Chain A
């Protein structure tokens, strides 16, 4: 019990989210027996979640520093498009294994480069992240359009499709990649020196700088990490669909922001956990899949997701108020006792 209470007080937010997740999961399972809770459906969800979850992590790291990254989608599609062109060359068609490895590298490199562009303007010139990424969002999309003229790039080696569509012992590769990155992100954000610096910048950039930390370099790395995460998501997307196009995944941008905030990351920076984001991604996924299985109009799903977002924040506010009051009461009582 003691242990539980400790867990509760420390990770109260994640616990609430987990309860919501489990409740929704059970609810969906009861409402559509044999469909929602079936091996195929769970597998389908495991295929769908990673690309969205990685976008959420890409968004989260920027939000932690009091920033935002609106260019994640167009940056990742630009990377996929360039890698895609490489994979349609004759060399790539003849050397599938080498080509796929190189294509992944190209994708990650371009994605990192998009991060460098964002990071340079944000950290070194000092323009607000929202403005910068609004501009680069347009810029990356424009470059992608310039390459594709609006069409899609396809005809990749079959092996590339394996990344997004293959599985081992029934477990999709994508969810394995996602799990590895989640764990990696946890250690990087919450257990490493760099992570601490990231949270510090989110709390108070000036103070962080005066404590001798090179905030510019930290911020640069943040946007590179954000770009690379989006890039990996882009690889999964283009592999799942065996093609690349400027507008793939465009619906993920606002969804990712929703999941990050739902997961308890403070939009004012400096606060948030990887676990929270991951559970929130799960919640959005369960709502989406669960209601899709019923054939419910997508707009109603949007309304419900938006409603839950606001509801959870109101609950968080109210429960915060209540626990504050309790603490004040307890302190007053103690003070009285002492007197």
Chain B
């Protein structure tokens, strides 16, 4: 009996210490975002910035921007998100932040439809809602930070692909991060629609190939696609692992001069494949800025400002606003070989 009691006490002590050390290391974590006492009662705004998932380079970069903005503007920024791109886990976390009583929630929804109910709840609790990276239901958000106009981005990549191919009478293939990713699907749809309208002779050989957001899958898929469709002259890669993955495949096939590749990529990761023309152009935007701008706009809204095109935002400068709500970060950043 005594020993059992002891073991129970042990459990309690262990869980307690785990929870406490958890808090401690949370502070030290590189994301530097987890603050134990996050209340609005200290006169500081608490802004939650939630990515689709944490632990991938893209959302690590946006997190650095958001955290930096928090330091610069003197607001408390919590940058935290699910560990997999699962809408269910994201909704759960937002619910918990509503409980915590934060001032603003900026979310990059894994799935816009799934967010609707929880965002309504957050609004009812008087929390300012922003979406970023991917749009949520427009009627529920106070502002929507667009890294870029989805349609314009897809069209831009398509145009550049044709430019690099030097012809619009050819076959091309699309390789994507995942078939369920809403923003990727949006760009792909825009690119396809643009091609159908403007390049009637351009032929898409098959539906987009998924790569599980993995570089090595992008690599082997590209090799396989080139074998299945040897006449393909151009490849569009959506999602950041496709840039280096598809690029490497093209290099190993020795097709740098025959096949053009325009793909999303993090700039640092593709210098190598850009250098010999395996990847003709990497397309993305400044991820740091995206996080930074999101926090700046959130703070401005919390200060009681109304969004207007050309207005000045604390810490950022002049912003471009469309339709009263949509803040546009700016044009795509194209990476060429340095």
Residues of chain A touching chain B, judged by Cβ–Cβ distance below 8 Å, are: 12, 16, 19-20, 23-24, 27-28, 31-32, 35-36, 38, 40-41, 44, 47-48, 51, 145, 148-152, 154, 161, 164-165, 237, 240-243, 245-252, 288-304, 307-308, 311-312, 315, 318-319, 322-323
Give the contacting residue for A315; candidates B7, B29, B101; CB below 8 A.
Answer: B7
Given contacts A31-B19, A48-B92, is CB(A292)–CB(B97) below 8 Å? yes
The verdict on B198 contacting chain A, using a C-beta distance below 8 Å, is: no
**Contact B19 A293, beta carbon cutoff 8 Å:** no
Contact for A308 among B18, B92, B179, CB less than 8 A: B18
With A23-B12, A161-B117, A250-B84 given, can you name 18 additional A-B contacts, CB distance below 8 Å?
A: A16-B8, A24-B15, A28-B19, A44-B95, A48-B92, A151-B180, A241-B113, A245-B114, A245-B180, A247-B180, A248-B88, A293-B97, A295-B26, A295-B38, A300-B29, A308-B15, A308-B18, A322-B4
Q: Are A44 and B36 in contact (CB under 8 A)?
A: no
Given contacts A23-B15, A245-B87, A247-B180, contact A35 B82 (CB under 8 A): no
What are the residues of chain A within 8 A of B81 when measuring CB–CB?
Answer: 298
Q: Contacts A27-B16, A38-B99, A296-B23 given: A249-B111 contact, CB under 8 Å? A: no
Is B91 in contact with A240, judged by CB distance below 8 angstroms?
Answer: yes
Chain A residues with CB below 8 A from B33, complex form: 295, 297
Return the 9 tightest CB-CB contacts between A and B, nearest first: A150-B179, A243-B113, A292-B96, A241-B114, A154-B113, A23-B12, A41-B99, A150-B180, A251-B86
Contact assessment for A149 and B179 in the assembled complex, using a CB-CB cutoff below 8 Å? yes
Give me 26 A-to-B residue pairs in the complex whose CB atoms sit less than 8 angstroms apart, sorted by A's number. Answer: A12-B4, A23-B11, A145-B180, A164-B117, A243-B111, A251-B83, A289-B92, A289-B99, A292-B92, A293-B100, A294-B23, A295-B100, A297-B29, A297-B33, A297-B54, A298-B82, A300-B26, A300-B29, A301-B22, A302-B83, A315-B7, A315-B11, A318-B7, A319-B3, A319-B4, A322-B4
Chain A nearest CB from B70 CB (Å) reads 13
**A36 CB contacts on chain B under 8 angstroms:** 99
Which residues does chain B contribute within 8 Å of A148, judged by CB atoms?
Answer: 180
Instruction: List, in ascending order, chain A residues with CB within 8 A of B31's CB.
Output: 297
Q: How far is the CA of A116 from the CA of B272 in the complex (A)?
A: 52
* B residues in contact (CB < 8 Å) with A: 3-4, 7-8, 10-12, 14-16, 18-19, 22-23, 25-26, 29, 31, 33-36, 38, 48, 54-55, 78, 80-89, 91-93, 95-101, 111, 113-117, 178-182, 185
Is B15 within 8 A of A44, CB to CB? no
* B116 and A150 contacting across the interface, CB-CB below 8 Å: no
Q: Once the chains bind, are B96 and A293 in contact (CB under 8 Å)?
A: yes
Considering the complex, give the chain B residue whose CB is closest to the CB of A47: B95
- Give CA–CA (A251, B16) in the complex, Å: 25
Query: B82 near A251 (CB under 8 angstroms)?
Result: yes
Q: Is there an interface contact between A295 and B185, defined as CB atoms closer than 8 Å?
A: no
With contacts defined as CB atoms under 8 Å apart, how many contacts are there between chain A and chain B in the complex? 188
Taking the closest CB of chain A, its distance from the CB of B131, in whole angstroms, is 16
Query: A149 CA to B96 CA in the complex, in Å?
Result: 31
**Neighbour of B86 across the interface among A247, A290, A301, CB < 8 A:** A247
Give complex CA distance A315, B3 in Å: 11
Check if B18 sits within 8 Å of A304, measured CB to CB: yes
Minimum CB–CB distance for B216 against chain A, Å: 19
Q: How close is B73's CB to chain A, nearest CB, in angstroms? A: 18
Assembly CA distance A294 to B19 (angstroms): 11
The reply to whether A241 and B116 form a contact with Cβ atoms under 8 Å apart is yes
Closest-by-CB residue of A relative to B178 is: A150
Asked if A241 and B91 sit within 8 Å, CB to CB, the answer is yes
A306 to chain B, nearest CB (A): 11
Q: How far is the CA of A292 from the CA of B97 in the complex (A)?
A: 7
Task: Using CB atoms, name the residue of chain B closest to A153.
Answer: B113
On chain A, the residues within 8 Å of B83 by CB distance are 251, 298-299, 302
Inter-subunit contact B11/A288 (CB<8 Å): no
* Minimal Cβ-Cβ distance residue in A for B5: A19
Shortest B91–chain A CB gap in Å is 7
Do B15 and A27 have beta carbons less than 8 Å apart? yes
Chain A hits for B14, CB < 8 A: 311
Which chain B residues lie closer than 8 Å to A31 at the CB level?
Answer: 19
Residues of B within 8 A of A28 (CB): 19
Bound CA–CA A164/B16 (angstroms): 33
CB-based contact A297/B182 at 8 Å: no
Contacting residues, chain A, for B111 (C-beta < 8 A): 152, 241, 243, 245, 248
CB contact under 8 A between A152 and B95, given known A295-B78, A299-B55: no
